[in-house]
A and B are shown apart, each in its own frame.
Chain A
Amino acid sequence: EAQVTQNPRYLITVTGKKLTVTCSQNMNHEYMSWYRQDPGLGLRQIYYSMNVEVTDKGDVPEGYKVSRKEKRNFPLILESPSPNQTSLYFCASSLTGMGNSPLHFGNGTRLTVT
């Protein structure tokens, strides 16, 4: 089944403890992206990647890192999480990042930082 898989689904952690949220897609998509969703603010892009070894900042990259060493994987790293990073996170991929290529989303990671 074609899908975007992210793990974990739920994560509670403490301030400053490094964490990684994994994301993997099996559709051979070139484009991958991370979003966070907060009430009243909608989906905001954190980082994106047009292809392997190519990553760029989105609208809210501060406090996050990503890597794209393989086409299928795009992990999100929080080196020193803070409470303002408590949010619902979505990984997404599309065949390309252009034109009418729609996004396919993972099922989300709800992160709480205390």
Chain B
Amino acid sequence: RKEVEQDPGPFNVPEGATVAFNCTYSNSASQSFFWYRQDCRKEPKLLMSVYSSGNEDGRFTAQLNRASQYISLLIRDSKLSDSATYLCVVRRYNTDKLIFGTGTRLQVFP
């Protein structure tokens, strides 16, 4: 079993839709959590960190559920420009080790 697992998708949604992705992690000693966005053949870019209390950045909301060991990303009012692969990233407690999920692909259509 992979340490960080994501549904690869693709998630095909119309503009304006709300879409949510989950990411599960197996190591309970995981400390820090991030969502990265990666466009085709480009470098990953930090979308947002995920805090224990949940956090929001515009149309994007990230949540952490430590009891069930998953994080989620909610995108409201999807735009065509949101089409990308979303990578879940987990850092183990008190280490420099970052574990990347293989990503969830989102395709927003007109």
Contacts and interface: CB of A to CB of B under 8 A. Distances in A.
Interface in B27-70: 31-32, 34, 41-46, 49
B46 A103 contact: yes
Interface SS of chain A: helix, strand, loop or mixed? strand
> How many residues of A sit at the interface, in one of the four size bands?
20 to 34
Contacts, number: 48
Contacts of A48: 96
Nearest to B100: A43
B95 interface: yes
B46 A90 contact: no
Given A100-B49, A102-B46, A31 B96 contact: yes
Most chain B beta-carbon neighbours within 10 Å: one of A45, A90, A97, A100: A100
Interface of A: 31, 35, 40-45, 48, 50, 88, 90, 97-100, 102-108, 110
